[in-house]
Amino acid sequence: MLDSALAVPGIRDLRMQHFDADFSRGNYNGTCRGVYHSYAEAAAAAPTTLPLGYDHAGPAGMYRDRIERVSPGDYPMMLWLQKAFAAGVTRVVDLGGHVGVSYYAYQKYLDYPDGLRWQVFDVPAVAAAGCEIALERDPSGHLSFIDSFAPAAQADLLFTSGCVQYLEQTLAEKLAALPRQPEWLLVNLLPLHDSLAYWTVQSIGKAFCPYRIQHKASFFSALEQLGYQVLDVWTNAEKQCEIAFAPEHSLNGYVGAALRKTG
């Protein structure tokens, strides 16, 4: 009966108004609002009370706690990264790696090769913060920051965790634009829907971001067309994508995968 009462148009509208007021203040961190057809449409719908995107001081200061720990969804990534190292991988490009979060967290559990080059490509504000942290935390000098995606053409492995959904281009489109694609591809924390593809607006507490949910089969088929073979797929059960007032577009679990070029 309560659910029915909450669905009454007047009550539902009032709930939405209260939610939107809180959402615009940066509350409901990690929650999404609205369903849109494009990046531009989602960006235009984002509240103007906070910055748009990660290229600002506030978002650049996030995730410091993740440097010190790993999550359950990181273990498949570490497994396949170790396999790639054993196969001779020494050059990694980390797409959206923030300040080097995964690089620092994983080194407690993995044996990094002596000649490792781990290059992070992120927005300028984040990269600047990462360079400062690396001066103290990376005496080996394995970690560096790059200002374009072009060096991925020389990488052995492309690593990306929790980034693809923020990009205006799909991962396959970014890879297709390279003169050469990395042999290995490790992707994690992907919001994929079994039957739909759409954009929404996510609150990250300090900013709002257009946020893409891709169609699962289409995501993988686009990479397979580039010559990648899917080696493994797993579920990040600890991650959910809640889109307020749109349960049919919300996700219970994210996806990770390991792929390798076949030719």
- How far is the CA of 94 from the CAs of 26, 35, 102, 125, 144, in angstroms? 28, 29, 9, 16, 10
Tell me the two tokens of residue 233: 């797929």
Residue 201 · residue 95 · CB < 8 Å: no
Parallel, antiparallel, or unpaired for β 184-190 and 157-161?
A: parallel
Parallel, antiparallel, or unpaired for β 157-161 and 91-95?
A: parallel
Tell me the two tokens of residue 14: 């009032």
Q: What is the pLDDT of residue 228?
A: 98
* Residue 210: partners with Cβ closer than 8 Å, 6 or more residues away: 36, 39, 42, 43, 46, 52, 166, 168, 199, 200, 201, 202
Q: What is the pLDDT of residue 5?
A: 42
Q: What is the pLDDT of residue 68?
A: 82
Q: What is the pLDDT of residue 63?
A: 62
Mean pLDDT computed over every residue of the chain: 93
- pTM of the complete model: 0.92
* Number of Cβ within a 10 Å radius of residue 22: 13
Q: What is the pLDDT of residue 62?
A: 66
Q: What is the pLDDT of residue 31?
A: 95
Q: Where do the structural domains in the chain lie, given as residue ranges?
A: 30-261
Below-70 pLDDT ranges, the chain = 1-9, 59-63, 263
Output the DSSP codes for 22-33: HHHTT-STT-EE
CATH number among 3.40.50.880, 3.30.390.50, 3.40.50.150, 3.40.50.620, domain 30-261: 3.40.50.150
Q: What is the pLDDT of residue 9?
A: 66
